[in-house]
């Protein structure tokens, strides 16, 4: 194991705290009595220097300026912020301590708008809070010290999420069909598509591309273009006109109300080619399988960022219609629609099969 200490803030430490989601802010009052509180934060720049900012959230009672941490900072601006990773494998432990001088940034002060934007970019939960009207804490003159485990040969092991974190993320993800109209930060969408790009794929070829549909006019046009195909297919199922109309209305509402639609497309250019049809079909099947893995990465990333998604397979039944409505190249084969936004209400979740039903044999 090794200890790394720095004067100033080094790039590795700044990257570490930028990627984490929560820290512990330590302050002290005029008599030196300490206080520690968990906080969410963002690393940004003000005046060309790195700063750490944390919001004073909306409080149900009283003036947020009377919070202990705020009172302490007024008396003693020197603070410490601890950001850490704990792992049962102690070779993977890591922490960074940020020390600096804190002050309160009031609405209208230089840098307050940038602070609000940085916090909302990292935490979409803040999009509906009135941060513009609230002070924020900014930590300047940032100095870091850090500790990182190693695997015995001087190399730091790659950080891995804990099993509990992963389980919470996987089991927390839900399929949402009703959204409110709040916009989704572009950085959240870009981050989710970047996560999709890390999915496994045949020969590492990444046979998928993504189309983001954000404008209301485009979403309306797509819903209109697909409506007749849906209507024809529902009638073929023998459903009466009243049920057909109700189902169409629900599907159209989802496409038109969700702030963003992501269209995952199968992209077969660059895959290996074979002289026989069987292997070529297997190659395409592998590509389709990997597209599903990419979509799962995307959905988990959206959920981790505080938004939800609903996976719709309608483009599989009318890919040409979707291509034409969105003006897509013929090499892009639409396979799904992912409606993205903030859930209007908690969806009903279907029960999952028990483990003994999933494992059919253990040989």
CATH number of the domain to which 230 belongs: 3.40.109.10
What is the rounded CA–CA span in Å between residue 30 and residue 213?
Answer: 54
- How many domains would you assign to the chain? 2
Span of 105-109, 136-140, 230-234, 318-322 with lowest mean pLDDT = 230-234
What is the rounded CA–CA span in Å between residue 360 and residue 52?
Answer: 51
Instruction: Tell me: do 175 and 315 sit in the same domain.
Output: yes
Instruction: Tell me: do 82 and 222 sit in the same domain.
Output: no
Expressed as residue numbers, the domain containing 198 is: 171-341
Instruction: Tell me: do 114 and 180 sit in the same domain.
Output: no
E strands, 225-348, are: 260-266, 308-312, 333-334, 337-341
Is position 153 within any domain?
no
How buried is residue 80: exposed, middle or buried, by Cβ count under 10 Å (0-12/13-18/19+)? buried
Phi and psi at residue 350, in whole multiples of 5°? -75, 145
Instruction: Give residue-wise pLDDT tens across range 101-148.
Output: 999 999 999 999 889 888 988 887 887 788 888 899 999 999 999 988
* pLDDT for position 1: 35
Question: How many angstroms from the chain centroid is the CA of residue 175?
Answer: 15
Is position 223 within any domain?
yes
Is position 355 within any domain?
no
* pLDDT for position 199: 96
Closest Cα partner for 106 from 116, 117, 98? 116
Instruction: Tell me: do 239 and 330 sit in the same domain.
Output: yes
> Is residue 99 very low, low, confident or very high in pLDDT (cuts 50, 70, 90)?
very high
Span of 1-5, 36-40, 310-314 with lowest mean pLDDT = 1-5
More confident residue, 249 or 96: 96
Instruction: Tell me: do 195 and 99 sit in the same domain.
Output: no
Residue tagged 């720095």 (tokens)? 6
- pTM of the predicted structure, to 2 decimals: 0.64
Instruction: Tell me: do 177 and 122 sit in the same domain.
Output: no
Percent of residues, the chain, with pLDDT higher than 70:
92
53: alpha, beta or left? (left if phi > 0; alpha if psi -120 to 50): beta
Closest Cα partner for 145 from 197, 194, 81, 87? 81
């Amino acid at each position: 194991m090794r200890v790394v200490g720095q004067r100033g803030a080094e790039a590795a430490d700044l990257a570490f705290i930028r990627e984490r989601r929560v820290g512990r802010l330590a302050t002290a009052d005029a008599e030196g009595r300490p206080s520690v509180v968990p906080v969410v934060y963002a690393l940004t720049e003000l005046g060309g220097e790195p700063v750490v900012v944390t919001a004073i959230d909306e409080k149900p009672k009283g003036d947020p300026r009377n919070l202990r941490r705020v009172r302490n900072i007024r008396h003693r601006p020197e603070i410490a912020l601890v950001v850490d990773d704990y792992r049962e494998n102690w070779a993977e432990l890591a922490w960074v301590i940020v020390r600096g001088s804190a002050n309160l940034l009031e609405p209208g002060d230089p840098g307050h708008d940038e602070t609000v934007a940085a916090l909302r970019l990292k935490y979409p939960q803040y999009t509906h809070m009135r941060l513009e009207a609230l002070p924020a804490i900014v930590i300047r003159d940032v100095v870091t010290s850090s500790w990182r485990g190693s695997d015995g040969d001087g190399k730091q092991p790659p950080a891995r999420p804990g099993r509990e974190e992963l389980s919470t993320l996987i089991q927390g993800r839900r399929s949402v069909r009703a959204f409110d109209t709040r916009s989704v930060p572009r950085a959240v969408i870009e981050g989710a598509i970047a996560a999709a790009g890390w999915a496994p794929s045949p020969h590492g070829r990444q046979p998928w591309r993504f189309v983001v549909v954000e404008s209301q006019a485009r979403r309306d046009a797509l819903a209109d273009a697909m409506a007749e195909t849906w209507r024809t297919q529902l009638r073929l199922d023998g459903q009466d006109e009243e049920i057909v109309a109700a189902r169409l209305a629900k599907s159209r509402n989802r496409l038109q109300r969700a702030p963003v639609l992501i269209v995952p497309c199968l992209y077969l250019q660059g895959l290996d080619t074979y002289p026989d049809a069987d292997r070529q079909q297997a190659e395409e099947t592998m590509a389709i399988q990997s597209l599903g893995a990419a979509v799962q990465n995307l959905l988990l990333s959206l959920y981790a960022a505080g938004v939800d998604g609903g996976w719709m397979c309608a483009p599989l039944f009318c890919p040409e219609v979707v291509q034409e409505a969105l003006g897509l190249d013929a090499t892009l084969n639409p396979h799904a629609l992912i409606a993205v936004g903030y859930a209007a209400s908690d969806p009903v979740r279907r029960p999952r099969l028990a483990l003994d039903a999933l494992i059919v044999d253990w040989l």
